[in-house]
Amino acid sequence: MSDLTRLPWPFAPADRTFRYTVNVEPARRRVETPAGSWGEHVVDLGDDYAEQMALRRDVLARDPGRRQALPHMEPACWDMLLYLLRELVSARPDAMHLADLGSGAFAWRNDLLGIEQSFVLGDAATLPTDPLTWIGCQVPDDILMVSDRGGRLWFDAALVTWAAAWSVKFDIGMHLDEIHGPVPRLNEDGVTSRATRFMRSITTDQTYRRVNWTFSAHGSPRRDISLEVKPEWDADVPQLVRDGDFGRLQLRIELEHLTRLPLTGTLTFNIRTYMAPLAEVVEVPGWGEQLAAIVAELPPDIAGYKGIAPYRDDVVAWLGDATRTAAAA
Amino acid sequence: MSVPATQLLRVTRIRAVTDRVREIRLADPDGRPLAGYAPGSHLVVTAGGTRNAYSLTGSGIAPGDYRISVLRTGDDGGSAWLHDVLRAGDLLAVEPPRSAFRPELAARKSFLVAAGIGVTPILSHLAAARAWGRPVEVVYGYRPGEAAHLEEVRQLAGPDLVEAQGRVALADALRERMAVQPWGTHAHACGPAAVLDLFTATARAAGWPPARVHLEHFRAPELSPGRPFTARLRRSGREFPVPSGTSLLEAVLAAGVEVPSMCRQGVCGQCLVPVAAGRVDHRDLVLDEADRLASTHLLACVSRAADTHLELDL
């Protein structure tokens, strides 16, 4: 059973269509949904925090290349580390403890993972691993770091284990326009340039968020659907479609947090991924019907990019039936 | 975007750096840690009745205090208030550190140029470069007896420092050193407008790509009051005059429309607003050539209508 009570439902109540926009809003605001609420904190550990972190360590152990950092990003990784430690404390002050000992020295305790560590900011020898891996194994978010230089935003460091059919190894070192080249209408409609302009204007005292969604390419909440392991998940959804087993199809919601890190001016683009099987989505009043309407209306290019086009009619029909059944029950 | 929150910090120490410059150290009154900041950041300080921006001089890494160095520039105004009225133990209202003059992380080396009180953000860049072990070289131009923070710069820079006493020596030092920097070096300079002109001209002559040459204007160039025009806000349909000597930003705020702003000198980039119609006389230091050609936005604090009417998408 996935936890829908904290799901950042990606559509406003009145939405019946979806297009890519620069749909950013200030972060740290609680949003009530028919199933619960979300958004109070920048970091959301979730009920399966320890399990997710074990899964991430496992992915990294099998494929260390999911962590990428260009050499100049070392200070930015420390910057990210301190930022996320403070966000962890803010989200779970009962379980996360950071003591500032002065002169860049800190003591950290994460009760949920049983981590106790003293370190000196910037001194790699004081941590058991590199700073990005160390912090990345304590937050559920994929960590993406973007440098702002020469008028462009460059994807210069990341720790990504839940990529949705993309590869951090392929994208690292590109600028944002290049990365978003394959997304329909994004560059053409000026969305990328407006997003770039927006991100470049972010200052360190502001945090913004954005919600994105798709259907997962895997019919289980298991989240490693990166390009690196495409052979392992490629046949999954076609099989699911052939079986008509749409209740198992996962609505994949990505909650992105954007801010500018204080020490280096690096921009964060951290992504927390939530998965919700359609069988559970339709149980929540209003959600199944709204999702069916939005998927039915998607223009062909967007449906194609999201991978929904081949089974769009089937999933819309299934959502309609299941929603009526759930409402009758 | 919102107006930045002001916090009150305690003045922990004041010391004379030169005859006309005093260093002010600030800490949280309750002993809470201060936010870190990027090298080259400034602090906006409410000094008496005015808001002035001063560069922070530390590395910004887990700072124990905030340090600014204030040059006295007259007998009234913010700097005089900070010299004559402010005492250790007082509380001072500051806005969070902001940066528009960050070092380039991907730079092979940082070439830093300071002149006069322009040494303050350069000292910050230098301290951070040393803390992270990044290659750095400093050229510091000063008048004898008026070299703020010279000892600290000498200590941090060691052999990577060229001192130049007077403008002629500085021009020579720039010409010589800018010709020999490794490819991939980024140059950052802060000082009076004449020195910045010299710096950019030297960089151009030595073949530096413009994207690797960065300036901090510590005093924005004087702008003319501009011609009067009529501003219209497309979304509300409101229309009002912007007289000569009144900025578009002031006029929009007076009309009751919230626009974030900070420096009001066309430097910080906060008051960027979308243009709906009309030609713009861009007078800021933020937008680049491509931005100006597209002219989809303007900085309301300094830019004005090029003609008699301007419509904003507000």
Q: Provide the shortest C-alpha distance from residue B74 to chain A (in Å).
A: 32
A160-181 pLDDT, tens digit per residue, is 999 888 899 999 999 988 887 7
**In this structure, which amino acid lies at residue B134?**
R
CATH number of B7-98: 2.40.30.10
Residue with the bigger pLDDT between A45 and A150: it is: A45
pLDDT band at B220 (very low <50, low <70, confident <90, very high): very low
Is A196 within 8 Å of chain B by CB? no
What does the pLDDT read at residue B223?
Answer: 65
**Could you tell me if B96 lies within 8 Å of chain A, comparing CB atoms?**
yes
Q: Find, among B68, B41, B40, B51, the residue nearest to B6 by Cα.
A: B51
Flag whether pLDDT at A274 surpasses 60.
Answer: yes
Nearest CA in chain A to B296: A194
d(CA A285, CA A292): 13
* pTM, rounded to two decimals: 0.83
Q: Summarize the confidence of residues A130-157 as an average pLDDT.
A: 94
Task: Tell me: pLDDT of B221 over 90.
Answer: no
Q: Contact B5/A205, CB-based, under 8 Å?
A: yes
Averaged pLDDT, A261-277: 94
**Alpha-carbon distances of B206 from B103, B172, B219, rounded to whole Å:** 21, 13, 26
* CATH superfamily placement of domain B229-312: Beta-grasp domain (3.10.20.30)
Find the mean pLDDT for residues A29-40: 95
Poorest-confidence range of A18-27, B186-195, B232-241? A18-27
Q: B227 or B126: which carries more pLDDT confidence?
A: B126
Compute the distance between CA of residue A329 and CA of residue A321 in angstroms, rounded to an integer: 12
Model confidence over A233-249: pLDDT tens digits? Answer: 888 888 999 999 999 99
Instruction: Note whether B99 contacts A: Cβ–Cβ < 8 A.
Output: yes
Query: Residue A55: which of A275, A222, A167, A219 has the closest Cα?
Result: A222
Read off the pLDDT of each residue in A253-277 and give the average, rounded to a whole number. 94
pLDDT at B2: 38
User: Which residues of chain B make contact with A85, given a CB cutoff of 8 A?
Assistant: none
B105, B110, B130, B288: which to substitute to probe chain A, counting the most A Cβ within 10 Å? Answer: B105
- Does B272 contact A151 at a Cβ distance shorter than 8 Å? no
Which ranges of chain A would DSSP assign to H, the alpha helix? Answer: 49-62, 74-91, 131-136, 168-171, 176-179, 191-201, 230-233, 236-243, 278-281, 287-297, 300-305, 312-328
Q: Which residues of B273-289 are buried (b: 16+ CB within 10 A; e: fewer)?
A: bebeebebebbbbbbee
Residues of B in contact with A100 (CB under 8 A): 33, 62
SS3 B140: strand
pLDDT at B13 over 90: yes
ipTM of the complex: 0.83
Q: Could B131 and A122 be called an inter-chain contact, meaning their C-beta atoms sit closer than 8 Å?
A: yes
Which of B38, B105, B272 lies at the smallest CB-CB distance from A262?
B38
Better-predicted residue by pLDDT, A183 or B251? B251
Number of H helices, E strands in chain B: 7, 18
- Among all residues of A, which ones are annotated catalytic? 210
The ranges assigned to domains in chain B are 7-98, 109-217, 229-312
pLDDT value of residue B70? 95
Closest CB to A149: pick one of B2, B35, B106: B106
Answer with the residue of higher pLDDT: B169 or A197. Answer: B169
Does the pLDDT at position A56 exceed 80? yes
Q: Is B28 on the interface with A (CB under 8 A)?
A: no
- Rg over alpha carbons for chain A, rounded to the nearest Å, is 20
Average pLDDT over every residue of B297-304? 94
**For residue A283, how far is the Cα from the chain centroid?**
24
Residue B38 has a CB neighbour count (10 Å cut-off) of: 27
Domain B109-217, CATH among 3.40.50.80, 3.10.450.50, 3.40.50.720, 3.30.450.20: 3.40.50.80
Using the Cβ of A94 and the Cβ atoms of chain B, whether some distance falls under 8 Å is answered with no
Domain with A160 in it? 4-328
Band (pLDDT 50/70/90 cuts) for residue A223 is low
**Residue A138 contacts B, CB cutoff 8 Å:** no
- When pLDDT is cut at 50, 70 and 90, the band that residue B115 belongs to is very high
Give the number of domains in chain A: 1
Beta bridge partners of residue B10, listed in sequence order: B27, B91
Whether the per-residue pLDDT at A73 is higher than 80: the answer is yes
B108 interface with A at CB cutoff 8 Å: no
What integer pLDDT is reported at residue B52 of this predicted model?
85
